[in-house]
Structure 1
């Protein structure tokens, strides 16, 4: 990985921008030098192969520089979700055994409050030492990324430099990345989606990355108009914010040849809104543990089969298995499993990540159609079992989105003395909301056992930083809600 970036630095030390952040522009040579200088500063603090270094802050060039510095030393970066609370940061840092927490100036106090004993806190923007000319090895672990932990404590996925390199090859093939590209990154780098679906692959392809601290719709439109990015990566919540923005209809988006989309089931109306603007929405499926690219859509596939999650990426094997672990019959739903060089080495201090033959069980349900395209069905752990029948909430949610008076919606199970569980529609009301009309909307469209038994109205759905609905939290809210 470091050798690839060093090659671009040698070829274009000062004439081409690699990373743009506000008024700051780092050429390939400047980025390489910054990584070497930070590696020197880390080494002076005793950081070496296998050591863990936390990073806390909004998107900032320092996080990318720190990642590249870790790659030179064979150390591991532990990105922290800045939306978590101090006890959650402390747990991750303690579990990882981090000896250093790098941060941006606006998070210095929060980092100091969260850091456990023995973990020093340093402003990453001041980390510069005597440059170290070193390259890490494929087998060196580079990222220790903690899963969201919707149940129990989060687990740390260990991704090595080989994983990032092959993930970048998957991205390059999917998005046809070239040095002429400009990639706009607005999603958080503490997730592998924001970091690895386009950002690190673009740098390894010699392209330019335009980095925003966090998503802001006006800043997005301004940047597209001014800097003409060719690609960007979005999630449904961000897509919705753009499509519903007053500037959407008149914004010049012609520089974007495609967008990547993922992190959850992408509603078809959002895909169609971008397609109507001439922008293919290429879905990417994966997980933290797959670095994350596993299944991908080409631009042609994005237009031919909106809503599909595509086909296996060039450097990923994917399969569907039933509850017994046997391969699924054509057209049947099964768990998606992934194997390949971009898959995690394992979970930190655990040995339950992979099957004996190296497959990662995603916990997601999918199917393959007659044309060989893959479709996401739902999360296995989200399956509602009602009277012995499996109900996949994503199927019900697709209908819920088009119900009258529904601004947003989700479906979760609620304990029921007769059926075990029953589906409940959780709705953010819009104009004309009427629970009875919402329930009537499902009549004749799906089987009766799949239809929601009640509607719970909430002012907002609980979501993660990437816009995913926090199902465990939502189920708890529904369980505590008086039965309608």
Structure 2
């Protein structure tokens, strides 16, 4: 048995009569013995269906206490879990099943017909304590492997990248890589058995899988699983369940700050050690406002699916506001023209390597790797103290008359305006400059758009270089987003161009 699977078993053995996982939608805590019973029941079904070592199983479920059960049961027979969004369209689910050899899929009742799709299969309906009616669809065209004890370099998880600029890549994470990443998370976040975390991020995402669930289980803590983030319920859930830390993204921070119900429900008896925030840079004013209003700290970090999540984190005793923190058990460098930069404060591509970083994708992409480094595609710099500052994606850089504009730089500036709820900056075609710096704003709706446009332009003149100042400003109700809430810039660009017709 792999080390991480053994440790998951020990966590249950040590907490048989203790509450370990709560499903908020069911409003029920599950004790260690109940989770262990569900793992055993599911593992026995996998054995009966001849799902074994190396077999990939697609999981398409909402956030649920059954997720940790499914993960552990699959690993105990040596199989591999590939979770995808519960909101995946039926056609996309069918394409995923057709393109790759999944021995089985696990879905809720509403997706059984789509997952079957006229294929020859065995459908097993299973009643679990953590999920009333689970459906396992076993593809009979695939033989499957015998159950076996997984070794450290066997695949444990297949995860899709966020795919904000193109088709998601499939990332294969081994038992060894996951364990290394989880152990680093436990140490850097100072997790103990006294901690309770709440999962509000989607559970098909590496953040929830590694940072929240696996790290908490291996450190002996408790997990509260919300079916989704709810601003109006958030602080009550934190208080009622004794939550000590939570992993969020900047969008959630912004919503909690402006949501009236959230602010009404917060009280000073809440004891949240920290909120871990990642995905993209949080504007300074939002970070400060959150920490002041809710009497906690925000720990910003940097990581991705390809690294089993975390690469950098702000130290508890020496955070640097605006940065993604310092490298933790990871080698993080800046590369320009294929060479590692040795001078601080020089912007280039962020490259990483370490014992929790993949060496290739499942479908090989050799251009993403160089001399043992994973090329993240993100731009940033390391300051003289080794703190990482992320400036955006290479593919997002705007070429404005030969000047290179990082959208994150402009977004951080415009986010300081109190009427700006969210802002995304993209390049749109311009006959004179090649690309125009275009700000797409979601407003709080407090004043006329014409006045807000004037204020944006005035603020940009005060805070940005001439070439960085937006020359086009559009107001929208929302952005096209992926399943984790990240803005899909390519689709946003298409949306803007469709609104205005031919630009430039």
Does residue 300 of the first structure (1) align with residue 317 of the second (2)?
yes
Q: Name the CA shift for 1:382/1:404 in 2 (closer, same or farther; >3 Å).
A: same
Q: Which residue of the partner structure matches residue 86 of structure 2?
A: 82
2:28 matched residue in structure 1: 24
- Which consecutive unaligned segments of at least 5 residues does structure 2 have? 137-145
Aligned residues of 2:107 and 2:134 also touching (Cα < 8 A): no
TM value normalised by structure 1: 0.91
Cα distance, 1:127 vs structure 2: 6.3
Number of corresponding residues: 475
Instruction: Please give the alpha-carbon distance, in whole angstroms, between the structure 1 residues aligned to 2:123 and 2:400.
Output: 50
Corresponding residue number in structure 1 for 2:267: 252
In 1: Cα distance, 2:55 partner to 2:359 partner: 16
> Deviation of residue 291 (structure 1)?
1.1
Deviation, 1:150, is 3.5
Aligned counterpart, 2:7: 4
Contact 2:112 2:135 in 1 (8 A): no
Number of the residue aligned with 1:421: 435
What per-residue deviation string (whole Å, max 9, x for no partner) do you get for residues 164-192 of structure 1?
Answer: 11111111112111111111111110111
Match of 1:445 among 463, 476, 483: 463
Shift of 1:102: 0.7
User: 2: CA distance between counterparts of 1:26 and 1:339?
Assistant: 38
Q: 1:93-130, CA deviations, whole angstroms, 9 ceiling, x for partnerless residues?
A: 333321211123xxx2234325553566655645699x
1:336 pairs with 341, 345, 350, which one? Answer: 350
Change (3 A) 1:36 1:379: same
Match of 1:149 in 2: 163
SS at match of 1:332: coil
Aligned CA distance change for structure 1 residues 348 and 94 (closer, same or farther; 3 Å): farther
- Secondary structure of the residue that 1:442 maps to in structure 2? helix
Assess if the C-alpha contact under 8 Å between 1:54 and 1:98 holds in 2: yes
Q: Where does the alignment leave 5 or more consecutive residues of structure 1 unmatched?
A: none
Q: Name the CA distance, whole Å, in 1 between partners of 2:120 and 2:165.
A: 28
DSSP 3-state at the match of 2:399: strand
CA distance in 1, matches of 2:218, 2:134: 23
Q: 2:421 aligns with which of 388, 407, 410?
A: 407
CA contact (8 A) 2:107 2:135 kept: no
Partner SS state of residue 70, structure 2: helix
TM-score, normalised to structure 2, is: 0.88
Paired position in structure 1 for 2:110: 109
The 5 A counterparts of 1:57-456 are 57-104=61-108, 108-115=109-116, 117=119, 125=131, 126=133, 136-246=150-260, 247-248=262-263, 251-252=266-267, 254-276=270-292, 277-302=294-319, 305-314=320-329, 316-352=330-366, 354-403=368-417, 405-429=419-443, 430-432=445-447, 433-434=449-450, 435-456=453-474
Deviation of residue 61 (structure 1)? 1.6
Distance 1:300 1:6, change over 3 A: same
Aligned to 2:379, the other structure's residue is in SS state strand
Alignment of 1:45 with 2:37, yes or no, is no
